[in-house]
Structure 1
């Protein structure tokens, strides 16, 4: 489940754990096997406690701890950044434009960054916020409450895009233009985007349906569909928001890995 090329990029990012000389306890399960267990849960949405141990992944709690610890150590963010650099070096990133959108998911157990959804009869939910380049490659993702306005995550998403190296010269960080739907229509945020030298191309509220931006915006909808292809992200099962965000960043990195290889 973990291709050799992907593992060669992840392994150097993992924190080194020294085994105790005295009272070492049980032998620590191999990191690659634990990663296989994490990906198995991400792909299938199987509960941690039902993770098949006969597959050699270790217990579900062991894999959960590795996901938590590696997220806290910044492994998934570093992996995502590394793959963005490789895509930039291979001329796969389209910096002429960026596209932003969000998608609602139900949060069955509640927790931080949830809220009553106005599009799901007030049921508790969260939102996946995504900003992509012109080719639909995820540049940054974030998690928010289901009742939070999309536009509140616009500038945090822009700021979350790290400088992307990979070529001679200054690192790229800002797209030339930003495409968005009516949910992001606000002159205040248009001014903030222009201050960052980003041209806002945002549909206006009150105009007839069909803004003409669909030819540009479909890429982010495709990326949201790819994120939700990972079954663990279709419904938020985690009470802890950091665990769900870890799954989101890991899934984004896998999407980048696939784009790099295809």
Structure 2
């Protein structure tokens, strides 16, 4: 069973392939073993992201675990994952339009038993090693930025760096921006930070129960659920290197945005490979 349906992985691969930097073969004799096709490695990496597990479990007779790691690092160095996420966000903004006037930020802690970069003792998990993801979503509920840090970092300390992810859109930002936050951000420091950045805010007060569907925060909570429930590799951090951790998150965000983009464009546009039924992306 494929990790993603063909109607989703085919457009994802088309854009990914266009971003892969050209390979320069400088072998003096030209008799080394041929490179494993990029499509095979790409599908293996997507399968690991969705299903989780180690590289050795996803390796087979076509590609080894060492090749998976080497090609992953090669593509990270070439900026493929960063550019892929940027392209899909720009495509959504061009066809549908990103709602950057209504933002939400929230943190999510996951286990990191192997330790490594951006990990720390999780105070909610008996001090075990964990990682925190501070997720920034726009008005449609799509992730537009993720900041990773140790699980012992407070959410409010990651707020400014999370909002700085908007710099990826250049100067095309709305004049009025409102940020919705939960009670964990209810402090004078948070309000001073938002005022300094010129952002309006709506923060749930401490000690009061407000249903999440009465605010816009349910959208960022949904993204956190997509990360941990839809991608097995994001449930538990197994990679120790910060660039690798960020690359997996960028690929997951790309899949989330692309899935929503295809769903939104299906009733509005027509193209040759458009599936007959829309439910294939749900």
Say whether the fold is shared (TM-score over 0.5).
yes
Aligned equivalents of 1:214 and 1:144: distance in 2?
29
Aligned to 1:41: 48
RMSD of aligned residue pairs (Cα, Å): 2.1
Distance 1:43 1:212, change over 3 A: closer
Which of residues 127, 130, 134 is equivalent to 1:125? 130
Aligned equivalents of 1:212 and 1:52: distance in 2?
42
Aligned to 2:273: none
Q: 1:40-189, aligned counterparts within 5 Å? A: 40-54=47-61, 56=62, 58-164=63-169, 171-172=172-173, 176-189=177-190
Aligned to 1:217: 217
Distance 1:145 1:11, change over 3 A: same
Residues 203-234 of structure 1: CA distance to partner in whole angstroms, max 9, x if unpaired?
A: 233x3232767531111111111111100110
Once the two structures are TM-superposed, the CA of residue 106 in structure 1 deviates from its matched residue by 0.8
Distance 1:117 1:32, change over 3 A: same
Equivalent pair of 2:212/2:218 in contact (CA under 8 Å): no
Aligned to 1:197: 198
Aligned to 1:14: 20
Aligned equivalents of 1:251 and 1:173: distance in 2?
26
Distance 1:238 1:200, change over 3 A: same
Distance 1:15 1:211, change over 3 A: same
Aligned to 1:237: 238
* Structure 1, unpaired ranges of 5+: none
Aligned equivalents of 1:258 and 1:133: distance in 2?
16
Describe the SS at the equivalent of 1:122: coil
Equivalent pair of 1:115/1:125 in contact (CA under 8 Å): yes
Distance 1:196 1:137, change over 3 A: same
Describe the SS at the equivalent of 1:134: coil
Equivalent pair of 1:163/1:173 in contact (CA under 8 Å): no
Equivalent pair of 2:101/2:174 in contact (CA under 8 Å): no
Aligned equivalents of 2:226 and 2:202: distance in 1?
24
* Structure 2, unpaired ranges of 5+: 264-282
Residues 126-178 of structure 1: CA distance to partner in whole angstroms, max 9, x if unpaired?
A: 1121100111100001211011111111111111223438xxxx623776100
TM-score of the superposition, structure 2-length normalised?
Answer: 0.83
Distance 1:69 1:152, change over 3 A: farther
